[in-house]
């Protein structure tokens, strides 16, 4: 019942320390990618928190929101975890995620579901704006990683203007690709993880210079394969409550004390996003039943 936890985080902060402490178990290995933009890191801070788990820091990437660099960071975690050892499942989490079940419950559930993959594949994202969704993948976004990120600057308008020009002259990268989408966070078994690693060149070919490729590259990779039959109807077992923070900013709200009911909800094993005070509260509750 060995589990691998792949954590993507901006920096080493209290939220991350709480997350590592919550997952700490002899059955768990924790792989961490820290955004290279955060500069030097103190890895010993994390290792001092983890009394039972092995902690592995993977090669770091400068991550830009919405860019292919997110996929590169994710692949860094996936590849390093895949060669590290055998695991029942590999769980991708952000540094603002937190478990809503204790380690014993997590291990027991995934031990019983070794052949299942937990990944969101849905129309949730394209339904927000069908035309903008097409622009994400049909045309090339050459400026996202280098000049834009989450900013609404002049380069953003240049980038999308370029996409409309590409569309006008007939460029469509998805004619032979069945684009599927969903949240990037997952719990996947080793067979599928190995398949992702084997198809890194395919991923680079089809998703480099793409807008928000992290929300589509795995879903699209397996769209016409037998892996679709292994995806659980429970989706990715993550609780996320989105709201419109701004016109083009559909983002998860922060978890509050009222969400402690998630601890008893059988549909969820992880949630986001947490600040340090609420993760402290959840940590106290779930560690009551930990190993």
- Domains assigned to the chain: 3-124+180-289 (3.90.550), 126-168 (no CATH)
Give the residue from 137, 128, 132, 141 showing the smallest Cα distance to 178. 137
**Distance separating alpha carbons of residues 7 and 55, to the nearest angstrom:** 11
Here the tokens at position 198 are 């084997």
Q: Which pLDDT belongs to residue 96? A: 96
| Lowest mean pLDDT across 150-159, 210-219, 245-254, 257-266 | 245-254
Q: In what order do the strands lie in the sheet with 3-9?
A: 54-57, 28-34, 3-9, 89-94, 186-189, 118-119
Helices (H) and strands (E) in the chain, counts: 11, 11
DSSP class of residue 55 equals E
pTM of the shown model: 0.95
Q: Is the pLDDT of residue 289 over 70?
A: no
Distance of CA 196 to the CA centre of its chain: 14
Mean pLDDT of 48-57: 96
| DSSP reduced 3-state for 64 | coil
234-273: per-residue pLDDT in tens? 999 999 998 877 766 778 999 999 999 999 999 999 999 9
């Amino acid at each position: 019942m060995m589990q691998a936890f792949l954590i993507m985080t901006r920096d080493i902060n209290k939220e991350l320390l709480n997350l590592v402490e919550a997952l700490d178990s002899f059955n768990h290995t924790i792989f961490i990618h820290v955004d290279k933009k955060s500069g030097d890191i103190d890895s010993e801070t994390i290792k001092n928190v983890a009394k039972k788990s092995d902690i592995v820091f993977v090669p770091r990437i400068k991550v830009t929101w919405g860019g292919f660099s997110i996929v590169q960071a994710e692949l860094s975690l996936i590849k390093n975890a895949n060669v590290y050892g055998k695991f029942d499942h590999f769980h991708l989490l952000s540094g603002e995620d937190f478990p809503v079940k204790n380690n014993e419950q997590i291990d027991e559930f995934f031990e019983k579901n070794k052949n299942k993959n937990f990944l969101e594949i849905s129309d949730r994202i394209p339904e927000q704006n069908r035309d903008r969704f097409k622009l994400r993948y049909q045309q090339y976004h050459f400026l996202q990683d280098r000049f834009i990120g989450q900013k609404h600057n002049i380069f953003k308008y240049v980038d999308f203007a370029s996409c409309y020009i590409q569309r006008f002259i007939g460029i469509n990268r998805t004619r032979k690709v069945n684009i599927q989408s969903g949240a990037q966070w997952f719990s996947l078994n080793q067979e599928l993880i190995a398949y992702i690693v084997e198809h890194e060149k395919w991923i680079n070919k089809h998703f480099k210079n793409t807008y928000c490729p992290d929300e589509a590259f795995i879903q699209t990779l397996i769209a016409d394969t037998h892996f679709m039959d292994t995806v659980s109807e429970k989706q990715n077992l993550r609780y996320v409550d989105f709201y419109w923070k701004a016109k083009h900013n559909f983002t998860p709200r922060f978890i509050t004390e009222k969400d402690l009911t998630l601890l008893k909800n059988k549909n969820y094993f992880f949630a986001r996003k947490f600040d340090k005070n609420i993760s402290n509260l959840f940590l106290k509750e779930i560690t009551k039943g930990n190993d």
